[in-house]
Amino acid sequence: MTRRRLTDAVTAVAAQTFPPSRRADGHVVRDCARDAIDAVGLRAMARETLSVAFAGLRVRYGVSVSDVRHAPWRPALRLLTLPLAATLLCV
């Protein structure tokens, strides 16, 4: 496996941590990581791969928090009891 193919494969796997709605952002971050690895060498691969993975996890966490904050809590509470509403909205 060539160096470029290895870099592409490893960074592509790390970019899978981005949620589907932000996949384009994952591609941009992955491309930046590839450029950094090409500039510095393979010794930067672990650092850049972890950076891409953690960036994806941060974005995924932010999207999840936003979804919970913007959930229709009041209409759900009007229609359902509190435990059932909380269970349905969180799941």
For 31-45, how does the pLDDT look when each residue is reduced to its tens digit (9 = 90+)?
Answer: 999 998 888 888 888
How many folded domains does the chain comprise? 1
Cα 32 to chain center, whole Å? 16
- pTM of structure: 0.70
Higher pLDDT, 91 or 85: 91
Q: What is the extent of the structural domain holding 26?
A: 3-90
How far is 84 from 42, CA to CA, in rounded Å? 51
pLDDT computed for residue 80 by the predictor = 64
pLDDT computed for residue 57 by the predictor = 93
pLDDT computed for residue 76 by the predictor = 73
Render pLDDT for 57-84 as a digit per residue (tens, 0 to 9). 999 999 999 988 988 888 877 776 777 7
DSSP letter, residue 80: S
